[in-house]
Amino acid sequence: MVDPHSIVVKRGLILLTIVAAGCQQGLISPSQRPSPTPSALSRCPAGSPAPAGPQILLSNLPAPDDLAFDRDGRLLFGDINAGTVSAMGIDGSAQPIAGGLRVPEGIVVLGNGQILVAEQGRNRIVAIDPASHAASQWRAFPNRTGQEGIDGIGPELSSVAAAPGGVIVPDSPNGVVWRVSLDGKTATQIGNGMTRPVGAAVDQHGRIFVADEGGAVWTLDPVRRRFATLPTPDDVVVGRAGHIFVNTLGDDAIHEFDAQGHQVSVMSGVNQPQGIALDGADNLYYTETARGRIARVVRSFTLDPPKVTRTTRGTFIICPVIRRAAGFQDALSLVTGSSPTTAMLQLLQPGTDSSGALEVQTPEHSVTIFVAGGSLLNLSQVVSLP
């Protein structure tokens, strides 16, 4: 699971700053060094419409479980049979990050990039360094109940203005919820009286949601209140517009609620949806553990691998590939992250029938592009340069 709001806010601030500075068609150069005179840039065609309904992204996995997104926008997933945490690359491949874990369950990525994983088989949380991929114990929890260990973890509260700092940890076997400091050393109990809390999320107002396998989704604000009654909830996430998504094992479904608890939609026929996540554009990702696969439902827009051309002048023309969901006609904006070594020479914004285009000059081996819709939806993509 993942707390999307910190990522959205940070990227939104980057986008607003650049767009306000005049990031439109024409010459934009954040560096002071001379740049070659560019030829006229043409808009890239829009990608084909996004598929309606579920799209299988990875298959033939042993037993994929919980999901989260890292700071580069990669989808992380744990596999409880393989004992691994992996990342899905832009080409759809699975890239291992850590192994030797005993039943890795919940995943959360902290603001510093550190990856926390709930290791159910050892009833502890391990921290994975994003660079070295080394794993170390972050915090262990006692379990004298004879039941399965800790199941979920997250999100980080430090970036939510209305909430205190730390990480939310549902203590599954003991039926309580903790707020743990970012170093894992101090734990404060913030909820109790639950059957088996297994997942948590927080909205932009600091309201904490807890999925309880006993048949409820609770809110802690701070008093525990029943938000919804569902058959074996397993995880919960909050979207950009404040909608709440819950995957349920009792009826093999994913339920969507508005902020007041009214059910908006139900996606049925999902075989053991153990994991659920939303990307920066509110597209829905989920695992089907029994079928060994990970799927996605595009709700707004998504990005396919871009096309990159190196010009004779030594610059790079990047052609994004934006795929829109049926009925999604919102205006989108395109921009790159700021860098002292990268000059953006030309930029054409996307339209409903195009993906925009940009030309950059840089000595780097990659650049990051951002595509945003309004103030809520935002996707980033790391573009490798030839």
162: pLDDT confidence band, cut at 50, 70 and 90? Answer: low
What is the band of 329 on the pLDDT scale with cuts at 50, 70, 90?
Answer: very high
Least confident of 42-56, 82-96, 285-299: 82-96
Confidence of residue 36 (pLDDT cuts 50, 70, 90): low
Q: What is the pLDDT of residues 71-111, one digit of tens each?
A: 888 999 999 999 999 999 877 889 999 999 999 999 999 99
Helix, strand, or coil here: 382? Answer: strand
Write out the two tokens for 192. 């109790």
**Alpha carbon distance 47, 45 (integer Å):** 6
pTM value is: 0.87
23-57 exposure pattern, b = at least 16 Cβ within 10 A, e = fewer: beeeebeeeeeebeeeeebebbebbeebeeebeee
Q: Which two tokens stand for residue 296?
A: 């996605």
Those residues with Cβ within 8 angstroms of residue 299's Cβ, 6 or more apart along the chain or in another chain: 281, 282, 283, 284, 325, 328
As a residue count, the chain comes to 386
Measure the CA–CA gap between 326 and 351, rounded to whole angstroms: 15
Tokens for 104, please give them. 């890795």
Nearest to 364 by CA among 303, 302, 318: 318
| CB-based contacts of 28, cutoff 8 Å, min separation 6 | 22, 344, 345, 346, 347
**pLDDT for residue 117 is more than 70:** yes
Per the structure block, which two tokens stand in for 278?
């939303």
What local confidence, expressed as pLDDT, does residue 4 receive?
A: 47
Structure confidence at residue 12 as a pLDDT band (50, 70, 90): very low
Mean pLDDT within 193-207? 95
Bond from prior residue into 155 cis (ω within 30 degrees of 0): yes
Distance CA 381, CA 368 (A): 6
